[in-house]
Structure 1
């Protein structure tokens, strides 16, 4: 058992999950002050989206919601950090408690509801992070403001796009969180096509990707892939959290007590890998696919890369593996990729 394992088991699991997250954020920010820059073997460098990524492994959206930890997350070893989800209108998110651990599954259930201080406030922090001499690649994930009707979603996304695309290394359009009413309906092609076209045009030279749900069936995934190609977008991020609760080890009472929300972590691994393979069957090799969902080890990252992922992200395992997680993956990955 590592020191972090002992701390997590004996202390952090006794604390509300969201409060523990805020405590961890202080450690991350301190890391950025003490040891800035991403450290990874040169063999891990990846050229994608018009950028050089120091390692293919990065942090998914949802951890650094307000773009306040970019330097620290880079110092911990994440080659790219996807901040957000950011909305045009600041919002508190859903009522607490809204983040839950399923310990037996190394999973999380969240119904955060895009809590963030808004795109305009985050823009200043992203601008400052970009000015740093050594920094991770910065992705910016944008979503619909809760108070905005789905019929008015395009204008709402465009506010965030115009503020943030000039500052982002890439822009991720989130239409797949289960925690904003009506949001997943934007994955239907009749709504998705005009939204993505508008964001693409407003983003200018900044690459645009769309983040999809694992709960789409394979035909729908292929439909999104075809749309992405037709519109000339940069790629797809697969996948967001799932509303499924199938196959969990955690006792049913604990799962029921956690309630509604998106499930992430190890139980998502198999479906996330399946979605990656579906996308790679229909998308050209040069199109970026970022694979996320259930990634825990360097072997998981290597498997996703072998299956055609351009880049790989993690999030939930950060909670269970601790601050040395990304650096450990970066240490172990070169040997796995050399096989």
Structure 2
């Protein structure tokens, strides 16, 4: 007899579809949080279950830790982990209330003098992390060593997506005022941009309330992306593009990496034909095990596997946003 109160997921993707293969990969390899998030996006899963799984990463200071961002290990709260948590809450429509108020207090407590977020807070010193080339400082000391002096500068890749998410969800907090000013200054002065900075700038511009200013900044940024050849417009000739620092040989960035949905301001940077080729390439990247590869250089087996589940969910969401068949 079936257990009373059981609530099996109400739908299953068609066999041999991209979604079916991805589902097998997720059940086989993903953390509970990504399993719940996958179920929410594609199997009519419960958002409460996603929130419950996310709570395991929350600390008493209002921030998030415990390797929520796979490339940054250790239990302590960190800005990248907390930014990741906000993305999850936004994805399930729960980015508000007392939970986000506590997050904003944490963001205030770790902000740099310019009102932004650091790439990594010095409290994480000594815990394993990806190398500087992968976006985080190398962990060469032990967890018992005293914290090193942190970088006093704000980071656009960390700050921009957080500010954008909070604006999109109409969260108003004192921390946002200076952080928004920081993002405007950083975005409007970008010249030698890294792809990660561009993606963060887009996340900010897509949601900041001043739409005319955002559209003007996005137009300038799009011309910069094309002038600096940051996007491989023809995947068949991607090897002609330079590899961004910290990425594995052969890694390139494509139009869909900057415009994750048709509603993004970055969509206007690319022609229909360029975006179609980019999405074809994204769909073809699904591997035999059902998952998508990660773009950054792997540095340890477990973080790389955890990151692949995230990359898989992101790829499916992007393809679906553009009306591509996933299952």
Q: Greater share of helix residues, 1 or 2?
A: 2
Instruction: Check whether TM > 0.5.
Output: no
Q: Greater share of strand residues, 1 or 2?
A: 1
Q: Which band: TM-score by shorter chain?
A: 0.3 to 0.5
TM-score under structure 1 length normalisation: 0.32
TM-score under structure 2 length normalisation: 0.32
